[in-house]
Amino acid sequence: MSVTGKTAVITGSNSGIGLGIARELARAGVNVVLNSFTDREEDHALAAGIAEEFGVEARYIQADMSKGEECRALIEKAGTCDILVNNAGIQHVAPIDEFPEDKWNAIIAINLSSAFHTTAAALPKMRAAGWGRVVNIASAHGLTASPYKSAYVAAKHGIVGMTKTVALETAEEPITCNAICPGYVLTPLVEAQIPDTMEKYNMGREEVIKKVMLERQPSREFATVEQLGGTVNFLCSDAAQQITGTTISVDGGWTAL
């Protein structure tokens, strides 16, 4: 079954990986709903740009993924939701005994609980349509840990667990649920850190990327947002109909170490 004309909701998609996934889905002919918590002209312009470039329907719907009712409202406002990509996420780094409770709560809410609410709201729509794909953007930190990232690692391990449960609950239906576990991805946020790191270590761009930033990524290459979008497109293809409840690492070998 072709994905052309289906509708995807991608949470946290006004930048980075979410935007890259939305663009690759649109390139494949999928109508897309972009989202973030802001409601700026440029957010809506992103959707208009995708509609024009790829000839699909594209909308931007503001909803704060830290609030359960707004997560559910996003899916309701989208109308159709054949493909749900739970991508919104934030990070905070601190030792656990100094970890601010508000940061812990925000990370769990945005990186984990939002996917509970959106999935719960989207599954009835997928069942009614007779087809559905849930793709959770976890992380290498959904499979392995790093110090000072307790909330992030807990949330990402949590979403991997929830992925398996949703897959079992939908196993006999034409619906799949999987998690993608990226290593370091070259997003504007990561790109912006390169100049400062070059100065701090007195290194050139390539040296900073390979020796400092990608120290744990054996390929010494960033994954790209286009590669992540391509992985989502694969999970939406017929070839992936029997792939459910699993993780796909896009991490240059990080979790093979």
In the bound state with ligand NAD, the residue whose beta carbon lies nearer, of 21 and 123, is: 21
Piece in contact with ligand NAD (CB under 6 A), picked from 11-19, 53-61, 208-216, 238-246: 11-19
Residue 24 makes contact with ligand NAD by CB under 6 A: no
Residue 249 makes contact with ligand NAD by CB under 6 A: no
CA distance 148 to 207: 25
Residue 46 makes contact with ligand NAD by CB under 6 A: no
Among the listed residues 3, 6, 8, 14, the single contact to ligand NAD using CB under 6 A: 14
Among the listed residues 12, 158, 245, 252, the single contact to ligand NAD using CB under 6 A: 12
Neighbours of 29 (CB within 10 A): 14
Neighbours of 72 (CB within 10 A): 17
In the bound state with ligand NAD, the residue whose beta carbon lies nearer, of 137 and 177, is: 137
Contact status, residue 101 vs residue 108, Cβ threshold 8 Å? no
Sequence-ordered list of residues with C-beta below 8 angstroms from that of 240, at least 6 positions apart, any chain: 176, 178, 234
Residue 237 makes contact with ligand NAD by CB under 6 A: no
Sequence-ordered list of residues with C-beta below 8 angstroms from that of 128, at least 6 positions apart, any chain: none
**Smallest distance, ligand NAD to C-beta of residue 110, A:** 5
Residue 8 makes contact with ligand NAD by CB under 6 A: no
Residue 119 makes contact with ligand NAD by CB under 6 A: no
41, exposed or middle or buried, with CB in 10 Å at 0-12, 13-18, 19+? exposed
Residue 3 makes contact with ligand NAD by CB under 6 A: no
Q: Which of 19, 83, 73, 9 is nearest to 49 (CA)?
A: 19
Residue 64 makes contact with ligand NAD by CB under 6 A: yes
Give the helix ranges, DSSP H, for 2-58: 16-27, 41-54
Binding mask 178-207 for ligand NAD (x = CB under 6 A): ----x-xx-x-xx-----------------
User: Catalytic site residue 152?
Assistant: yes
Piece in contact with ligand NAD (CB under 6 A), picked from 30-38, 46-54, 208-216, 236-244: 30-38
Residue 7 makes contact with ligand NAD by CB under 6 A: no
Q: List Cα–Cα distances, 213 to 13, 181, 197, 208, 221, in angstroms.
A: 24, 18, 9, 6, 10
Of how many residues is the chain composed?
A: 257
CA distance 189 to 191: 6
Q: How wide is the angle at C-alpha 111 spanned by C-alphas 149 and 94, nearest 5°?
A: 20
Residue 254 makes contact with ligand NAD by CB under 6 A: no
In the bound state with ligand NAD, the residue whose beta carbon lies nearer, of 111 and 119, is: 111
> How many residues of this chain interact with ligand NAD, rule: CB under 6 A?
27
As annotated, the active-site residues are 152
Provide the binding-site residues for ligand NAD, judged by CB under 6 A: 12-18, 35-37, 64-66, 87-90, 110-111, 137, 139, 182, 184-185, 187, 189-190
